[in-house]
Amino acid sequence: MQKKSKPKKSEKDSGKILKTKKLSQLEFEKKVLELSGKGITSEKIGEELRRQGIHPKEYSKKISKILGEKYINPDLKNVEAKLERVKKHYEKNKQDKRAMREKDRIFAQLRKLKKYFKIETKKK
């Protein structure tokens, strides 16, 4: 009977981090843009890269700078999603006064965040 060979360090073993060679700056940027095409936020892109053994700190550009115009602040994204959920609920349940108050509160929170990040708001 043959001996079982030990898995190499570069192979992924149930959640362990891969060891790979260092990518060039251009390859790193391509990898970030590829992951952003899947609709992943910059934080999740960083986590995914670390799982693949690529450490973003080793490269000169930040992930958010690489994404440039595509970059949406995750705080804003989460608050906008929450506002949409509450609006949808309130449309179905007009008698829900607490949901109406929550909708107004979240809208104010979104407006403050947009002002903080200096993003133009659309007038309705």
pLDDT in tens, 39-94: 788 888 989 999 988 888 888 888 888 888 778 888 898 999 999 999 999 999 99
The closest alpha carbon to 25, from 60, 68, 70, 71, belongs to: 60
Residue type, 44: K
* Mean pLDDT value across the chain: 83
CB burial of 106-123 (b: ≥16 within 10 Å; e: otherwise) equals beeebeebbeeeeeeeee
pTM confidence score: 0.59
The number of angstroms, rounded, from the C-alpha of 101 to the middle of its chain's C-alpha atoms is 29
| DSSP secondary structure string for all residues of 67-124 | HGGG---HHHHHHHHHHHHHHHHHHH-TT-HHHHHHHHHHHHHHHHHHHHTT-PPPP-
Instruction: Give the residue, 2 or 79, on which the prediction is more confident.
Output: 79
Per-residue pLDDT at 110: 95
Pick the range with the lowest mean pLDDT from 9-13, 38-42, 44-48, 113-117.
Answer: 9-13
- Give the model's confidence band at 13: pLDDT under 50 very low, under 70 low, under 90 confident, else very high: low
46 phi and psi, to 5 degrees?
A: -60, -45
| Percent of the chain whose pLDDT exceeds 90 | 35
Asked if 106 contacts 82 with a C-beta cutoff of 8 angstroms, the reply is: yes
